[in-house]
């Protein structure tokens, strides 16, 4: 694969940025490639850190552990270190985290307690979307004052779906960032458990929606809580109950704690300190390592 194509493919990724990017990013092409080539891809059955959940990976999906996930997010994508502790990252087996058509799914968890799903059939997602669009638009003044591009929530790329049998919720949002020619995809999966929620967030571009949509059933099936931590293991006598329901999960768990739609823009990927932008900035940063030579064909 030609390096130019390999590098430009990074445009398909999102990045989370703050005022200052991480200072421990690679300084040279060689350091960058060493980090990329040093990632250890895992396959098959994997117990996630903490022991409450597990993965059973198909051959087309690979897992990166928390350390390698941090390498990708901070050192390769240029994000500042996150307060959120990642349990790992899922990537397509046939693609690098930075490459043509790349996408990834980060895995985190919450311990806010058992999220009741009794509002599942009562939620008006069309009305919710209008409120989210208004809240996102209204916060653009603050974003622009802080030097960040305006965001518009275009609509549902995939309307919310809740499977009451497996207690899994998924949806996708299409976002437009001021100055970007290509819209951004946020594809989210939430798996309800006894003590909290597994949070899976896909990082991709809108043009990759068909692929992510095809992979969604596999992703939904491959991760689950271990026995004793499942939704059905809930004990109302001793277990904590979350202060929000499914509607708040779609709007953003952090947003729920701050007043549901208040400050929604800071919670689009459940990251308190980060602002979401398109990957043009990260791609431009990566491209400087690869302006002279092509990466050898894999």
In this predicted model, which residue has the larger pLDDT, 226 or 175?
226
pLDDT at 100 (0 to 100): 66
Please identify which residue in the block is written with the tokens 């040093």: 38
- As to burial, measured by CB atoms within 10 angstroms (0-12 exposed, 13-18 middle, 19+ buried), residue 170 is buried
Distance CA 220, CA 40 (A): 23
pTM score above 0.85: no
Q: Note the CATH architecture for domain 3-290.
A: Sandwich (2.60)
Please identify which residue in the block is written with the tokens 């990074």: 10
For the cut 50, the answer to whether the pLDDT of residue 118 exceeds it is yes
For the cut 50, the answer to whether the pLDDT of residue 246 exceeds it is yes
User: What is the per-residue pLDDT across 158-168, written as a single tens digit (0 to 9) for each?
Assistant: 999 999 999 99
β strands within 111-222, DSSP E: 151-163, 168-177, 184-192, 197-205
Q: Which three-class secondary structure state does DSSP give residue 241? A: strand
User: What is the per-residue pLDDT across 77-102, written as a single tens digit (0 to 9) for each?
Assistant: 766 677 778 999 999 888 888 766 77
pLDDT at 116 (0 to 100): 95
β strands within 114-263, DSSP E: 151-163, 168-177, 184-192, 197-205, 223-225
User: What is the per-residue pLDDT across 47-76, written as a single tens digit (0 to 9) for each?
Assistant: 999 999 999 998 888 999 999 999 988 888
Alpha-carbon distances of 102 from 14, 18, 50, 93, 282, rounded to whole Å: 10, 23, 28, 10, 14
Cβ within 8 Å of residue 105, ≥6 positions away: 89, 90, 91, 189, 200, 201, 202, 203, 219
Distance CA 27, CA 30 (A): 9
Distance CA 295, CA 298 (A): 8
pLDDT classification of 263: cutoffs 50, 70, 90: very low
**Phi and psi (nearest 5°) for 86?**
-80, 140
DSSP for 100-134, written as a single string: TT--EEEEEEE-S-B---TTTTT--HHHHHHHHHH
Q: Where are the domains of the chain?
A: 3-290
Here the tokens at position 29 are 């092409």
Alpha-carbon distances of 130 from 66, 162, 169, 182, 266, rounded to whole Å: 36, 20, 20, 22, 18
């Amino acid at each position: 694969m030609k390096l130019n194509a390999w590098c430009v493919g990074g445009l398909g990724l999102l990045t989370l940025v703050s005022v200052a990017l991480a200072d421990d990013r690679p300084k040279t092409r060689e350091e960058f490639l060493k980090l990329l080539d040093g990632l250890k891809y895992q396959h098959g059955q994997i117990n996630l850190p903490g022991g409450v959940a597990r993965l059973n990976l198909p051959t087309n999906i690979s897992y990166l552990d928390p350390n390698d996930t941090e390498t990708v997010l901070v050192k390769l994508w240029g994000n500042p270190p996150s307060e959120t502790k990642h349990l790992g990252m899922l990537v397509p087996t046939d693609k690098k985290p930075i490459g043509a058509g790349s996408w990834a799914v980060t895995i985190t968890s919450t311990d806010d307690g058992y999220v009741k799903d009794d509002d599942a059939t009562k939620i008006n997602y069309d009305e919710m979307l209008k409120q989210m669009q208004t809240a996102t638009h209204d916060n653009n003044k603050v974003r622009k004052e802080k030097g960040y591009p305006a965001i518009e929530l275009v609509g549902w790329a995939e309307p919310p779906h809740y499977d009451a049998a497996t207690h899994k919720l998924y949806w996708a949002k299409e976002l437009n960032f001021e100055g970007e020619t290509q819209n951004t995809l946020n594809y989210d999966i939430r798996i309800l458990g006894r003590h909290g929620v597994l949070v899976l967030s896909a990082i991709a571009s809108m043009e990759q929606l068909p692929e992510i949509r095809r992979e969604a059933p596999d992703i939904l099936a491959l991760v689950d809580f271990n026995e004793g931590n499942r939704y059905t293991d809930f004990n109302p006598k001793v277990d904590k109950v979350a202060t929000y329901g499914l509607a708040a999960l779609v709007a953003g768990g952090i947003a729920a704690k701050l007043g549901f739609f208040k400050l929604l823009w800071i919670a689009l990927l459940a990251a308190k300190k980060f602002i979401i932008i398109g990957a043009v900035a990260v791609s431009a940063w990566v491209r400087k390592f690869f302006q002279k030579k092509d990466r050898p064909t894999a």
